[in-house]
Amino acid sequence: MMMRGVLVFSAGGLRLGVAIADVSRLVVEGDIAPVPFGHPGLAGIMKVDDVDVAIVPVFDLNCLAPEAQRPPRQKPGATVAVIPTARGPVGLRLDRLLGTASDYDAADTEPTAIPDALRRTLAGAGRPRTASVAVGAEVFFFFSPEAFIAAVGL
Amino acid sequence: MQRYFGVDAGPFRLALPLASVRQILDVGAGDAVLDPRALGVMPHSLAELLGEAPTSTRPAVLLFDGTDDPVVLTCCRLRGVIDSAPPRPLPETVVCAWPGLLQGTLDVDGGLVLVLDARVLMGLVEARAS
């Protein structure tokens, strides 16, 4: 059993989880400024008022497939998980925030029928043991911020 | 403080160093139809240069000093002069496929405005034209 807190959410059509310690904050998506010649999965940049004002790129996992449409520039009210990485902050637009799991078991499950670009952002799977109601006990896949950075070529 | 000229081009909110804008040839809007022949130089749509469709049928027209020849760009809306502190650099996680084009962001009226490097933009114009 793993005792590491996990934030569980849906994005890109998958149930995903990321270590709570890896998320600096959750924000409600505000005004997004589109960026010319940006990555196809980049909706734009958003200002996040933290201790200092930070500029955060907001990515949408639904748009990692090669044939995918560009993400909607604005998705007002969506939850964005701000994840610090070695290259700078990454904002991940969540389709739905499900809740948290305080412990889980490793699961030997592979996602099926998803684009390779999305698969490359994943690092294993877990099955919640103790979790908030909306999370339930279904398997989730770990979203790896560093793998994401590599997958989108940042 | 630095001075910029703010414009909208398609979905993009942009600013260019004020000194890079040589002349405002047409403020846009209104009913008069713009005749490109009167400009003497074929205008380029800034929105299209940046990969998006323009959102105005009656664009404003700006004259720039290109690398070799004058460059005329159309944009959807003029926002006017912006006096601002130097742009805030973008984090490395914001990658633009045209290196050097984006200098950073300004915070204008609570919204983010992207500052373009005028010299790199002129290079983009020439690359698209050739």
The one-letter amino acid at A133 = V
Do the Cβ atoms of A154 and B92 come closer than 8 Å?
yes
| Two structure tokens written together for A71 | 């993400």
Predicted ipTM > 0.85: yes
> What pLDDT score does B40 carry?
75
> What pLDDT score does B15 carry?
98
Instruction: Name every residue whose Cβ is closer than 8 Å to that of residue A110 and which is 6 or more positions away in sequence.
Output: A125
Mean pLDDT of A26-36: 94
Q: Is the predicted pLDDT of residue A66 greater than 70, yes or no?
A: no
Residues of A in contact with B51 (CB under 8 A): 36-37
Contact status of B38 with chain A (Cβ, < 8 Å): no
CB contact under 8 A, B114 and A90: no
CB contact under 8 A, A38 and B96: yes
> What is the distance in angstroms between the Cα of B44 and the nearest Cα belonging to chain A?
16
> What pLDDT score does A116 carry?
84
> What pLDDT score does B28 carry?
85
Could you say which residues of chain B have pLDDT below 50? none
Average pLDDT, chain A: 88
Give the residue with greater pLDDT, A66 vs A25.
A25
> What pLDDT score does A115 carry?
81
Q: What would the pLDDT profile of B28-53 be if each residue is shown by its tens digit? A: 877 666 666 667 778 899 999 999 99
CB contact under 8 A, B95 and A153: yes
- DSSP character string of A6-33: EEEEEETTEEEEEEGGG--EEEE---EE
Q: Select the residue from A31, A32, A37, A149 to test the B interface by mutation, using most B Cβ atoms within 10 A.
A: A37
Mean pLDDT of A93-102: 94
CA–CA gap between residue A10 and residue A57 (Å, rounded): 19
3-state secondary structure of B121: helix
Query: Whole-angstrom distance between the N-terminal and C-terminal Cα of chain B?
Result: 37
Residues of B in contact with A151 (CB under 8 A): none
Give the residue with greater pLDDT, A23 vs A2.
A23
CA–CA gap between residue A144 and residue A22 (Å, rounded): 9
Residues of B in contact with A42 (CB under 8 A): 94
CB contact under 8 A, A36 and B94: no
* Percent of chain A surpassing pLDDT 90: 55
CA–CA gap between residue A127 and residue B53 (Å, rounded): 46
* Percent of chain B surpassing pLDDT 70: 93
What percent of chain A is helix, strand and coil (3-state, nearest 5)? 10, 50, 40
Q: Which of A38-52, A137-151, B92-106 shows the lowest per-residue confidence on average (mean pLDDT)?
A: A38-52
